Amino acid sequence: MSRSGQLEEIPSYESSPGEGHGAASPVDMSSLASGPGIRSVAEVVAIIGVAVGVFVGLEALLILTEVPAYVFPRPTAVVATLFNDFTTLYLPPLLQTLRSFGLGFLIGSSIGLVLAAVITQRPFVEKIIAPYIIVMVTTPMIALVPFLMLQFGFGMTPRVIAVALASGPMVMINAATGFRRTDSAMIALARSYGASTFQIFRRIRFPLAMPMIVVGYMVGSIFGLLTAVGAEMVGGGMGLGNRLVYFSSLVRIPQFGASLAIVAALGVSLYVLFFLVGKRWASWES
């Protein structure tokens, strides 16, 4: 790969496979991608037991202390409205949130991934671009929504852009950390079998970067969801974020709780999805 110029490197094996791992990235949440697996029936029973305990305990506490339903929703009331009104009250907002989130995340993460792969090939370009990426990662992109609405109106567009802007840089910064780990011995091995630059990318660099890419997608998706819901709260659309504002303004607390539960379930699903993806495609690292 590095046949560039006369400055050849002395072949060495000093670089370890983990080179550069987590060195420069301000957002290295690789621990998110690995977690304790469930091992035994006893563990499953304990986990379900505690969950039921929390649910029943909260219900009992609210009944005993006679907290009114408009102050804090009873779990049973939330579950009841979720079951009874799901298709009318919650499904349309859920689908709308999913649409703007899904589209924004797809666009943002794809651009982020491609940019990371390209930019890490050119350290000079990377140095120039890095500060902007860090600014984008650290600035809450919800802040841009009012401005985007000014430009693109009250439709889905500003939300999709906000989600893409929130998730893309997060995917990029983590994927770049992954792509930056080059293992000169592995690349030499591939080259000794006549591998092309593309083959080296596909067979060595990409799998080597995979664990960090999964982390990027996980964190990016959660940032994207955050931004999607936040953008709906700021204005526009009838998504879950909008419903949260709507129900709380009418003090329909059980409905508010149900919307919140759906948002939470979405976040957890994303986490689990990428956890499983990581387990399938990037488990070699742990």
Residue 173: alpha-carbon gap to chain centroid: 12
The type of residue at 249 is S
Which span (78-86, 126-134, 197-205, 270-278) binds another protein, by CB under 8 A?
197-205
Whole-number Å distance between alpha carbons of 250 and 252: 5
How many residues belong to the site for another protein (CB under 8 A)? Answer: 26
* Binding of another protein by 186 (CB under 8 A): yes
Write the CB contacts of 244 (distance below 8 Å, at least 6 apart in sequence). Answer: 229, 233, 256, 259, 260, 263
Which span (121-129, 160-168, 188-196, 230-238) binds another protein, by CB under 8 A?
188-196
Which span (10-18, 40-48, 162-170, 219-227) binds another protein, by CB under 8 A?
10-18
Give the x-and-dash track for 111-150 against another protein (CB under 8 A). ----------------------------------------
Which span (109-117, 139-147, 190-198, 229-237) binds another protein, by CB under 8 A?
190-198
Give the x-and-dash track for 15-54 against another protein (CB under 8 A). --x-------------------------------------
Q: Which two tokens stand for residue 222?
A: 């959660």
* Binding of another protein by 277 (CB under 8 A): no
Whole-number Å distance between alpha carbons of 169 and 156: 21
Location of structure tokens 């596909």: 202
Q: What three-state secondary structure class fits 25?
A: coil
* Binding of another protein by 279 (CB under 8 A): no
Residue 153 has phi, psi (to 5 degrees) of: 80, -165
Q: What three-state secondary structure class fits 70?
A: coil
The total number of residues written for the chain in this structure = 286
Which residues are near another protein by CB under 8 A?
A: 3, 6-8, 10-11, 13, 17, 185-186, 188-195, 199, 203-204, 207, 210, 282, 284-285
